[in-house]
C-alpha cells in the first residue's frame, strides 16, 4: 500500500504535470480571450474559467456537448494537488526548509483564495443622478421577478424571485412542478415561458411568436429568443410569461421583461400588486446620495481625463452622515464592500456609475504574496550566507 501511495505521490508531484497544467492554462486563456467576441465576457468566464471541463457544441447539433479542454477549476485543482504532492515527496519539514515551506504554502493560499473569490464575490452597479439617493445596487447579469404589494401608501412589501428559479421552474416537466409559492403571496406563480435573451415587437415579424400573455402590456406583442449578447459589456434582456394562479382559478398570464419599463398592476383580494422583471438588487443598511459628479475630458476630444463622484453616506441606524469623494484608484471601502468609480452615462453628464464589489476573500492575495516573498527571502538569504561562509573558509 505504501508503494502505491509513493508512486501516486510521485505522479501528482512531478514537474511534468506542472508544465502540462501551465501549458493548458496558457491555451485556455488564449482561446477564452478569443471566444469573448462571440460569447461575451460573462459567458466565457462561466464556461471556460469557472468550470471543470470546457465543452464545444456543434451549431447543427445543439444537444451535443464535446469536451475539448480542461476548465479553470480543473487546472487549478490539479495544480494545487501537484503543489502539495511535490512538497510531500521532495521536501521535509525542518527549520532549514522554512523558506521552501512558506513559498509553497503561499502559492497554495493564492490558489485557494482565487477559488474562494469565485465562489463568494458579488459584483453589482449603482447608477446615481445628482441628488438621487439609493440603498441598493443592481446586478449586471442577473435578474429577478419582483412582486410588490403597493397597497399601503408608506410601505411596499417585496417578494423577489431570482431568474435561476424562473428558468428551472420553466424546465420542470409537470405543471405542478412549475408552481412557485411564497407565504407572503396570496397566489402562486407558474412559469409558462422563459427566454434568456428576448426581443419584443408589436408586429408579427419573421421568426417571432405571439406572446401568450392575457393581461398587461404583453397582450398583442411578439417574441423571439435571441442568442446571448456577445458584446463584452452587453447585457441580455430576458423575458418571461408568468401565470398567477390560486387553488380555485387562474388570474391570467403576464409578459414581464426588462424591455417593459413600467411595472404592471394586478388587483386581487382587495390589494394591489405590481409585477416587473428587473436587475437583481442587493440592499444594504447604508444610503448613498450623489452630491456632485465631475467629468473632465481632454481638450478637443471626447476622451475622459478625470471623473469622480462626491457622495453623501448616510446610515440611519448608527447616525453616520458624512461626505466621501470616490475617484479612479481611490475607492470607498465600507464594511465588506468596496465602491469603485466605474463609469458614467454618456447621454447624461450628471449621472455616475459605481461598481460595488463584495469579496470576503480579498486579503488572500496580499497574505499569499507576503508568504511567498518572505519564503524566497529566507531561502535566498540562507543560500547567500552559506555561499559567503564557504568563500571565507580557507
- Residue 286: pLDDT band (50, 70, 90) is very high
Q: How far apart (Å, rounded) are the C-alpha atoms in residues 149 and 269?
A: 12
Question: Could you tell me which residues come within 8 angstroms of residue 390 by beta carbon, excluding any fewer than 6 positions away?
Answer: none
Question: Whole-angstrom distance between the N-terminal and C-terminal Cα of the chain?
Answer: 50
For range 294-309, the mean pLDDT: 81
pLDDT recorded at residue 231: 46
**Contact assessment for residue 253 and residue 243, using Cβ atoms and an 8 Å cutoff:** yes
Residue of higher predicted confidence among 181 and 176: 181
CA distances from 279 to 6, 102, 257 (A): 53, 44, 10
Span 71-85, pLDDT tens digits: 999 999 999 999 888
Q: How far apart (Å, rounded) are the C-alpha atoms in residues 374 and 377?
A: 5
Residue of higher predicted confidence among 3 and 43: 43
pLDDT recorded at residue 348: 83
pLDDT recorded at residue 302: 72
Write the DSSP string, 293-312.
Answer: EEEEE-TTS--EEEEEEEEE
Span 243-277, pLDDT tens digits: 999 988 999 999 999 999 899 999 998 999 999 99
Quick one: cell of 372? 511567498
**Contact assessment for residue 362 and residue 352, using Cβ atoms and an 8 Å cutoff:** no
Q: How far apart (Å, rounded) are the C-alpha atoms in residues 388 and 385?
A: 5
Residue 206, helix vs strand vs coil: coil
- Residue 93: pLDDT band (50, 70, 90) is low
pLDDT recorded at residue 229: 53
pLDDT recorded at residue 162: 93
Q: Cα 62 from chain centroid?
A: 26
Please give the helix or strand (H or E) that residue 21 lies within, else none: helix 15-39
Span 331-387, pLDDT tens digits: 999 988 999 998 888 888 889 999 999 988 888 999 999 999 999 998 888 888 877
For range 57-80, the mean pLDDT: 86
Percent of the chain at pLDDT > 70 equals: 93
Quick one: cell of 103? 513559498
Task: Count CB neighbours of 193 within 10 A.
Answer: 20
Q: Per mean pLDDT, which of 83-92, 142-151, 170-179 is the most reliable? A: 142-151
In three state form, how does the secondary structure of 122-191 look?
EEEEEEEECCCEEEEEEEEEEEEEEEEECCCCCCCEEEEEEHHHHHHHHHCCCHHHHEECCCCCCCEEEE
Amino acid at each position: 500500500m505504501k508503494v502505491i501511495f509513493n508512486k501516486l505521490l510521485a505522479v501528482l508531484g512531478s514537474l511534468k504535470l506542472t508544465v502540462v497544467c501551465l501549458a493548458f492554462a496558457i491555451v485556455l486563456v488564449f482561446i477564452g480571450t478569443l471566444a469573448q467576441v462571440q460569447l461575451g465576457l460573462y459567458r466565457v468566464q462561466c464556461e471556460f474559467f469557472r468550470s471543470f471541463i470546457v465543452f464545444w457544441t456543434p451549431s447543427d447539433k445543439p444537444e451535443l456537448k464535446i469536451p475539448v479542454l480542461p476548465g479553470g477549476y480543473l487546472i487549478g485543482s490539479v495544480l494545487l494537488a501537484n503543489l502539495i504532492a511535490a512538497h510531500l515527496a521532495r521536501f521535509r519539514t525542518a527549520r532549514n526548509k522554512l523558506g521552501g515551506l512558506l513559498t509553497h504554502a503561499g502559492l497554495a493560499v493564492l490558489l485557494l483564495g482565487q477559488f474562494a473569490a469565485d465562489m463568494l464575490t458579488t459584483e453589482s452597479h449603482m447608477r446615481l443622478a445628482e441628488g438621487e439617493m439609493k440603498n441598493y445596487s443592481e446586478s449586471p447579469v442577473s435578474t429577478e421577478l419582483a412582486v410588490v404589494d403597493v397597497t399601503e401608501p408608506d410601505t411596499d412589501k417585496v417578494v423577489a424571485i431570482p431568474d435561476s428559479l424562473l428558468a428551472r421552474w420553466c424546465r420542470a416537466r409537470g405543471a405542478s412542478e412549475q408552481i412557485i409559492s411564497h407565504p407572503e403571496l396570496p397566489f402562486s406563480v407558474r412559469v409558462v415561458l422563459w427566454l434568456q435573451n428576448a426581443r419584443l415587437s408589436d408586429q408579427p415579424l419573421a421568426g417571432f411568436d405571439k406572446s401568450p400573455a392575457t393581461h398587461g402590456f404583453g397582450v398583442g406583442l411578439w417574441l423571439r429568443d435571441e442568442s446571448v449578447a456577445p458584446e463584452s459589456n452587453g447585457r441580455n434582456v430576458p423575458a418571461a410569461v408568468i401565470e398567477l394562479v390560486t387553488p380555485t382559478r387562474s388570474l391570467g398570464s403576464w409578459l414581464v421583461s426588462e424591455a417593459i419599463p413600467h411595472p404592471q398592476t394586478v388587483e386581487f383580494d382587495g390589494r394591489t400588486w405590481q409585477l416587473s422583471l428587473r436587475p437583481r438588487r442587493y440592499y444594504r443598511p447604508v444610503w448613498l446620495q450623489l452630491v456632485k459628479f465631475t467629468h473632465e475630458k481632454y481638450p478637443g476630444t471626447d476622451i475622459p481625463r478625470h471623473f469622480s463622484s462626491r457622495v453623501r453616506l448616510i446610515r440611519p441606524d448608527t447616525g453616520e452622515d458624512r461626505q466621501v469623494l470616490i475617484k479612479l484608484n481611490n475607492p470607498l471601502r465600507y464594511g465588506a464592500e468596496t465602491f469603485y468609480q466605474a463609469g458614467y452615462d454618456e447621454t447624461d453628464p450628471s449621472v455616475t456609475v459605481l461598481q460595488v464589489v463584495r469579496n470576503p476573500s480579498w486579503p488572500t492575495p496580499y497574505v499569499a504574496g507576503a508568504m511567498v516573498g518572505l519564503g524566497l527571502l529566507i531561502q535566498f538569504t540562507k543560500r547567500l550566507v552559506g555561499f559567503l561562509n564557504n568563500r571565507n573558509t580557507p
